[in-house]
């Protein structure tokens, strides 16, 4: 399927062409994908790191936030960051979990956090990191895990805010895209 429609987004002065794709719900989105795009990931990570300087630990969900969070952690000089997994792995038997509903996923999902990652958050200023925030479902799931871990949510950060998420004052983001 060849995309014929694109949306131009401004990310802190950098213009990116995003393909417009349909969701199963009938809505259309300007699809933002950092997977495999080293230059764009590094650029976005540096810009977000400037805004998250006093965060002590980062928390993201697999998979689209992973490389972004890795680069932000490196920029901030962090040795570790926490990852919420979408399936429960063998080493996570003593971890925590929460349910999540996202605009890009038809069914409800679960986020799982290992006991090790939960301990990284305890008593720390946590920055929640995602690529795009739209309905806030994934961010809500990350918030839940941070709170269950007794971390203090200092930031909710994303590269892009989609639709009404751009009106929220509790989100740190670099650019806006419409929900089409």
CB atoms within 10 A of CB 99: 12
Q: How confident is the model at residue 125 (pLDDT cuts 50, 70, 90)?
A: very high
Span 174-179, average pLDDT: 93
d(CA 171, CA 158): 8
pTM (2 d.p.): 0.91
Is the pLDDT at 170 greater than 90? The verdict is: yes
Helix 66-76 vs helix 38-51: angle between axes, to the nearest 10 degrees? 50
Phi, psi (rounded to 5 degrees) for 122: -55, 120
Structure-token pair, residue 10: 């401004």
Is the pLDDT at 1 greater than 60? The verdict is: no
Q: What pLDDT is stored for residue 106 in this prediction?
A: 58
H helix count then E strand count, the chain = 4, 10
Is the pLDDT at 168 greater than 90? The verdict is: yes
Q: What pLDDT is stored for residue 118 in this prediction?
A: 96
């Amino acid at each position: 399927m060849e995309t014929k429609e694109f949306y131009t987004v401004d990310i802190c002065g950098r213009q990116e062409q995003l393909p417009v794709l349909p969701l199963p719900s009938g809505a259309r989105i300007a699809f933002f994908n950092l997977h495999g795009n080293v230059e764009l990931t590094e650029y976005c990570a540096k810009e977000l790191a400037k805004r998250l300087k006093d965060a002590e630990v980062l928390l993201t969900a697999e998979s689209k936030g992973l490389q972004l969070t890795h680069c932000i952690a490196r920029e901030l000089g962090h040795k570790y960051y926490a990852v919420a997994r979408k399936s429960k792995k063998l080493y996570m038997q003593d971890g925590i979990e929460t349910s999540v509903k996202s605009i890009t996923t038809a069914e409800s999902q679960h986020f799982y956090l290992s006991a090790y990652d939960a301990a990284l958050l305890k008593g720390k200023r946590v920055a929640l990191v995602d690529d795009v925030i739209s309905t806030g479902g994934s961010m809500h799931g990350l918030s839940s895990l941070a709170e269950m871990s007794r971390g203090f949510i200092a930031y909710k950060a994303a590269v892009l805010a989609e639709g009404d998420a751009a009106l929220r004052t509790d989100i740190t983001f670099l650019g806006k895209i419409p929900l089409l």
